[in-house]
Chain A
Amino acid sequence: MNTYQATRLVAARELRVKLRDRTFIFSTLFFLVIIAASAVVPALIGNGTTTVAVADAATAQLLSASDELEVVTVGDDAEAEQRVRAGDVDAAVVDGPVVVAMDDAPQSLITALSSSPPVQLLNPDAVHPVALFLVPLVFALVFFFISTMFGTQIAQSVTEEKQTRIAEILVAAVPVRALMLGKVLAGGALALGQIGLIAVVALIGLRMSDSGPLLTLIAPALGWFVPFFVIGFVMLAALWAVAGALVSRQEDIASVALPLQMVIMIPFFAVAMFSSNDTLMRVLSYLPFSAPTAMPIRLFTGDAAGWEPFVALVVLLLTTAVSLLIGARLYEGSLLRTNSRTSVATAWREREQIG
């Protein structure tokens, strides 16, 4: 049994157990429902029509041209106002023309009654400001949540093997690094699978709600997000596995995971809050812990040159390799220390040389 075969067996077990776990299935479905709802519901709400009572025939004709308005023709202005008071209609247009409503004049009605000046866009491809704010936030959020959620699960799965003492049987059978690598890879596959599902649902949702143009803008950034996400996740997952190996009980994971959570949380806030600061974003897009979100965002906003993501990806890859090596050593040094919490220094020193 070499490391590769052992890693595959360990990863396969992790996947089987997780895919049968009710909590995992339920949380995945829940996530998907939220995503689908947030893509579709705003469009549905926006499409609601406003009912307007109108006595004047000319006004009625003008308003019925708008598909957001439903015109109810009434006998006179008094009756129109009466219908508003009774709540039969959302608003009325009386002589003047004056819009009558209870507490809030419907925007669509006012727009229909006003005349807009013609607009000429000089740079029509520029990203919509709302998208400019939302897309970085979504990337940062997805990376933050997925890496925290699946990272915690990897740590729990490691501690479970320590706590139930099966670790010793496993260590006697296969190389310790295979145990860690198998968990990291299985966690990565699950995280990628869940992201894939979320992306598919979000894309279908956006299509249903007619947000096509935004889609074509996001696509290239999304394409880059995938490799950055996968490698970044593996880098963090190795550290999560170590966090799980350092403690002996599930209850203690939170305390060792705190520095790790900081390492994930600080880049998240930096990227989410300073996505308009070009210099800071340039730096963040090369730093391993923030690159997975910052670089795709810079590609999305069009600030990054074509060669930049490749360089950032290489930096991330190297950091991930180092993280796996350090992680494997700490893992070997702590997995069988079941008495108490192991310090990082002890784990580094105590690694057993096993032939």
Chain B
Amino acid sequence: MTSVLHVDRVNRSFGSRQVLTDVSFTVTAGRMTGFVGGNGAGKTTSMRIILGVLAADSGEVSWQGKRLTRQARARFGYMPEERGLYPKMGVQEQLVHLGRLHGLDMAAARRATDALLERVGLAERGKDLLETLSLGNQQRAQIAAALVHDPEVLVLDEPFSGLDPMAVETVLSVLRERAAQGVPVLFSSHQLDVVERLCDDLVIISEGRIRAAGSREELRAAHALPRFRLLVDDDAGWLRDVEGVTIVELDGPGAVFDLAPGVDEQQVLAAALARGPVRAFAPVTPSLAEIFREVTR
């Protein structure tokens, strides 16, 4: 079996409120999977169930084809939505402690901690108490805490929220590094532009149901509209009179338009060329925000 984290028909309710309904998706090795949804859509609940911090009412989570056990979960790296480490403990000391709780021996935990502190730029602050660090540095320590035991799978709940731009770059490069080593990385976010920039795969959740899942390209292709952008030298207003064309946006020489089914975009291009030079003509791919709006509608 390949290195795949598989969530299979997971249901969960809190009291009478159904929070997750038949949630299924996969996270593939070596890929950054963005988990997208509004507040209260069920992202955190799903992640907590993957980590075994919360139990599912039904359904199961498997890793490499086997139902997840506590032993296997100890090899996962987890960053909960609500951040926290021991405020009155040294950064290095608590990373070593967390490494050991995840099964490393003392020497390995020390080595991993030192390497990781170096990597996130906290090598000089290892001896300092966490609470004396700036907020940005505390967040770096937090990501280090999720990575110290060199996890086989990474599950990060809103890893970029509240990060300063420098920290975002650090965290991002560390995550990409892990993904490149073959680790499946699942991270949630409600900032669609961030996810669009970072992820290879996407899982979209809304009201506890998975609305769409797949690679970014697949989703774009699946939700692509027959929409085109045209830029000519003169006014593009004549497009209004072309049969099968619906103008989305018209601004002097520039236009964005949709084509009715069966209408060939090459005919429109030919018509434009007949009127003068064409500076640009291209299909418009939908942004993640547009796909999100569409699938959660």
Residues of A with Cβ closer than 8 Å to B?
1, 6, 9-10, 13, 17, 160-161, 164-175, 336, 338, 352-355
Contact = CB atoms under 8 A, between A and B. Distances in A.
Q: How large is the interface on B (under 10, 10 to 19, 20 to 34, 35 or more residues)?
A: 20 to 34
B82 A175 contact: no
Contacts of A165: 80, 82-84
A17 B88 contact: yes
B19 interface: no
B74 interface: yes
A168 B80 contact: yes
A9 B69 CA distance: 21
Interface of B: 48, 51-55, 67-71, 73-74, 76, 78, 80, 82-89, 97-98, 100-103, 145-146
A354 B55 contact: yes
B74 A1 contact: yes
24 contacts: A1-B71, A1-B101, A17-B89, A161-B86, A164-B86, A165-B82, A165-B83, A165-B84, A168-B53, A168-B80, A168-B82, A169-B80, A169-B85, A169-B145, A172-B52, A172-B76, A174-B74, A336-B54, A338-B82, A354-B52, A354-B55, A355-B52, A355-B68, A355-B69
Given A164-B85, A169-B80, A355-B70, 4 more contacts: A1-B101, A6-B101, A9-B100, A17-B86
B237 to A, nearest CB: 58
A175 B88 contact: no
A164 B55 contact: no
B62 to A, nearest CB: 12
A354 B70 contact: yes
A-B complex: 7 closest residue pairs judged by Cβ atoms = A165-B84, A164-B84, A168-B80, A165-B82, A352-B55, A166-B84, A172-B51
B238 to A, nearest CB: 61
A9 B97 CA distance: 8
Contacts of B100: 9
B82 A169 contact: no
A164 B52 contact: no
Nearest to B48: A168
Contacts of A168: 48, 53, 78, 80, 82, 84
Contacts of B71: 1
Contacts of B97: 9, 13
Contacts of B87: 164
A168 B88 CA distance: 18
A166 B145 CA distance: 10
Nearest to B100: A9
A183 B100 CA distance: 17
A338 B80 CA distance: 13
B85 A166 contact: yes
Contacts of A160: 86
Contacts of B53: 168, 171-172, 336, 352, 354
A170 B102 CA distance: 9
Given A13-B97, A336-B53, A1 B102 contact: yes
Nearest to A168: B80
A165 B86 CA distance: 9
A160 B130 CA distance: 14
Contacts of B103: 1
A169 B55 contact: no
A170 B54 CA distance: 13
A170 B101 contact: yes
Contacts of A355: 52, 67-70
Contact of B54 (A6, A164, A166, A352): A352
A17 B98 CA distance: 15
B85 A353 contact: no
A169 B100 CA distance: 13
A223 B89 CA distance: 38
A320 B48 CA distance: 33
B102 A173 contact: yes
Nearest to B76: A172
Contacts of A1: 71, 74, 101-103
Contacts of B78: 168-169, 172
A172 B82 contact: no
A173 B88 CA distance: 21
A166 B68 contact: no
Given A1-B101, A352-B54, A166 B86 contact: yes
B74 A173 contact: yes
B80 A173 contact: no
A164 B80 CA distance: 12
Contacts of A169: 78, 80, 84-85, 98, 145-146
Given A1-B103, A13-B97, A355-B52, A172 B73 contact: yes
Contacts of A161: 86
B83 to A, nearest CB: 6
A105 B225 CA distance: 111
B132 to A, nearest CB: 15
A354 B67 CA distance: 12
Nearest to A336: B53
A175 B83 contact: no
Contacts of A354: 52-55, 70
A14 to B, nearest CB: 11
A331 to B, nearest CB: 14
A355 B59 CA distance: 13
Contacts of B80: 165, 168-169, 172
A200 B244 CA distance: 97
B141 to A, nearest CB: 12
Contacts of B52: 172, 354-355
Contacts of B101: 1, 6, 9-10, 170, 173-174
